[in-house]
Amino acid sequence: MRRTLRYRAVGAVLGVALIAAACGSGDDAGEGSIEGDPIRVASFNFNESVIVAEIYAQGLESSGYQVERQLNLGNREVVKPALESGEIDLVPEYTGTVAGFLEVEASADSDATWEAARAAWEEQGITLLAYSPAQDKNAYVVTGETADEFGLATVSDLQPVAGEMTFGGPPECPERPLCLQGLTDVYGIEFAEFVPLDAGGPITVAALDGGEIDVGLLFTTSGVISANGWVSLEDDMGLNPAENVVPAIRTEVVDAYGDDLVALINSLSEALTTEDLTEMNARADLEQEDPALLAEEWLTTNGFIEG
């Protein structure tokens, strides 16, 4: 029999967020299920994170693990403390961003960035499992018309004209080292105005399409960029490090369920590619397809569940 995990009490503020964000929970253990507390799988508040969280959640369920979902929980300022305090158990993360939040060195080297982040978070009782070949980085995007008007191809090209422009991104962007803070520190870019929007989602897309902003923060795997003929400016000074998808899980959960759990999650990560993310994001963002159904289709196509 597997030992039961001892969960910590949920804080009042985050408790409300978790309840509001819950999108479903695993049923009681049935035939073929693995005994133990449900694994609480969370996501950030954008489609790609929900899709990958569903891949992990459905993959676990298909192998007999009980799962509770806390999807669209919020940004990293909400999710990271929830993971560290034991209010959630598993969330798909990104290696370079994790390293930045833990204040350790991140670079274009996937192995080195993962190792630095893994070692730093281990002290907080969080284990980073094997990273996926799939990567998704911040993308600084302009319309084709704006690129032509100002001769923009790289992020450096923004420097002389940014003072005439409006930048749009998530509300936390001004304090993020890979967002406005990094654009200023690395590129010397100062925009005339910042408009708080969402995390590379439909609000940012609509603002860029409607001319309310000149530059928008999207993601490199966003299907709307090519679909609209927009230009993702080349990060020519290397602001963005390696950003491999990586499952972050509480070490207590790893200890409770052991090598079988780790092997299963790692196999899911290993099969996921950047091309997969881009395709599923396009279908979720442009066609409004259900992230849970996209995850199920991916799991079926890749042989993790039966069709």
Q: Output the CATH code of domain 138-232.
A: 3.40.190.120
Percentage with pLDDT > 70 across the chain: 90
pLDDT of 288-297, one tens digit each? Answer: 999 999 999 9
The whole model's pTM is what? 0.85
Q: Answer for the pair 71, 21: CB distance below 8 angstroms, yes or no.
A: yes
Residue 120: phi and psi, rounded to 5, are -70, -40
Q: Quick one: which H or E segment has residue 76?
A: helix 76-84
Would you say how long the chain is, in residues? Answer: 307
Q: Where would I find the H helices in 85-154?
A: 95-101, 110-122, 144-150
Domain ranges of the chain: 12-135+242-301, 138-232
pLDDT of 60-102, one tens digit each? Answer: 999 999 999 999 999 999 999 999 999 999 999 999 999 999 9
Most distant CA pair in the chain: distance in Å? 66
Check if 12-135+242-301 and 138-232 are the same fold: yes
Q: Which class is domain 12-135+242-301?
A: alpha beta
